[in-house]
Amino acid sequence: MAAASDLVNGGVAALQIEEPEESKNNVAAVVAFAPIPWLPAVAERYERREKLGEGMFGDVYKAWDRVHDRIVAVKRLSGRTDDRFVKTSIPDLAREVMSLAACRAHPSVVQLLATHVDGGRADGDCYLVTEHAGPMNLRQYMAVRCLNGQPFGEDEVRDVMRQLLAGAEHMHRAGVLHRDIVPENVIVGMDGDSATGRMVYTICGFGMSKPAGQTEKDDSGLLASPSPYRAPELFLGCKDYDGRVDTWSLGCIMAELVTGTGVPFFGGALDKEVFDKIMHVVGTRGIAKWQGLEHVAPREKVAGLRKTASQERGYLLKMFPPRMLSPAGFKVLKGLLQSNPDHRLSAADALRKPWFRRRFSLGACCFMSHAAA
């Protein structure tokens, strides 16, 4: 069985899909996906290499920094309305940069190295240069592990969660809410060589971040598409939230690591589908007792949740029995997946749980289907 480090080093190649021949011959497709030229000053300093990924706010490339002789990641943000990646304003860019700057000097948060702005145009491109923390993201890594029949052991799950919760705690102490902690925004790398180094998990993707305590007048970007990692209170329209929206997302990631299926734990095509699945798994009792419920949800929604609170206790324990996750580990998972945000674990509280202080080694976590019956 391949070592975890070998899967990281060879995993990207294993995930490559051969492009259909007709696509290769399609000139329009080639033009549409051709890399957009970088700002001359950026192209002069950074040698663009392979594409690492793309998201709502920009495309990211691996690059060589000719000045400091190091590999970096360069994210391009566009201000042009005809571009797929549009960063609508300088304040939005400034917010992302300030979030990264506030979270500097922590090993579980990607480090900002430089920024470059096209000052000659109102709609010019902006570039964020960060450390290159690893060759693949956690979504890709989970897929490789699943394809290789190599589930995460509980010790591994604990190590991943310890690093990610530590990064989240650092962000929250710095006054930053990430709001988009998903496997695609966690980079997987190695600290040292593959023989002696340990796996390192780094949070990136701060395009949706905001200062804690700042109420958003418009959360349309946050709610643009159904997210299997969105906290229940956000589905209900809550705008006054804290770092526990991030710890909910981390609970979803923990559930995926334990199940080993490589797919979202609360997957769904529509908001209602995702929310209903959450309520079915964790139960409605918690959210029904949330003091803020009446202030954010329609009256009929409140009545419906409270009506079913006595019957809908959830199936989380049945889905994660002791043979699959130790009782101490389950307490962490259950605490992160509390539907009532007032009772949900913060990152700091989660890290104080006994699971992170003692070893509960049960070998590899079992594969299981997490589809609600």
Give the number of other Cβ atoms within 10 Å of residue 324's Cβ.
19
> Out of 6, 180, 191, 271, which one is annotated catalytic?
180
Instruction: Show the tokens assigned to 112.
Output: 């900002």
Find out whether 75 is annotated in a ligand binding site: yes
Closest by Cα among 339, 129, 145 to 257: 145
Question: 130 - beta bridge partners?
Answer: 73, 112
Q: Is 180 a catalytic residue?
A: yes
Closest by Cα among 33, 31, 115, 120 to 77: 115
The answer to whether the CB of 11 falls within 8 A of the CB of 19 is no
The answer to whether the CB of 136 falls within 8 A of the CB of 175 is no
For 107, residues 6+ apart whose C-beta sits below 8 A from its C-beta are: 163, 167, 200, 202
Instruction: Show the tokens assigned to 282.
Output: 């964790």
The answer to whether the CB of 184 falls within 8 A of the CB of 137 is yes
Q: Which residues have a catalytic role annotated?
A: 180
Binding positions for ATP are 75
